[in-house]
Amino acid sequence: MGRVGSSYDNALAESFWQGLKRETMHGKLFLTMSQARLEIFEWLTHYNVRRRHSALGYLSPVEFEQQHHRTAKLQLVA
């Protein structure tokens, strides 16, 4: 996922895949490939937009980005 030999990069990737498998596929049987793709797409949308991340101070990516833009504007004004 990132630099060669960086265990931190690997840990993040492993955490992501573990979450995807546990929250989307564990114990489920998809009848069609389209159904599986839709389920994974919905999870990815949730993960990238609304799910709170510990690395972001338990904010969702959208909340974190909004907070970042507010802070950047305040710094530009000052």
Q: Could you give the CA distance from residue 26 to residue 68 in angstroms, rounded to a whole number?
A: 35
Q: Is residue 57 part of a domain?
A: yes
Mean pLDDT of 48-65: 86
Mean pLDDT of 50-77: 83
Q: Is residue 58 part of a domain?
A: yes
CB-based contact 39:30 (threshold 8 Å) = yes
Q: Is residue 2 part of a domain?
A: no
Q: Which domain holds residue 26?
A: 7-77
Q: Could you give the CA distance from residue 74 to residue 46 in angstroms, rounded to a whole number?
A: 29
Q: Is residue 1 part of a domain?
A: no
In the chain, how many domains are there?
Answer: 1
Name the more confident of 33 and 52.
Answer: 33
pLDDT at 33 over 70: yes
CA 7 to chain centre: 19
Predicted local confidence at residue 5, as pLDDT: 67
Q: What is the pLDDT of residues 22-32, one digit of tens each?
A: 999 888 899 99
Q: Residue 36: name the closest of 47, 59, 55, 20 by CA.
A: 20
Q: pTM, whole model, 2 decimals?
A: 0.62
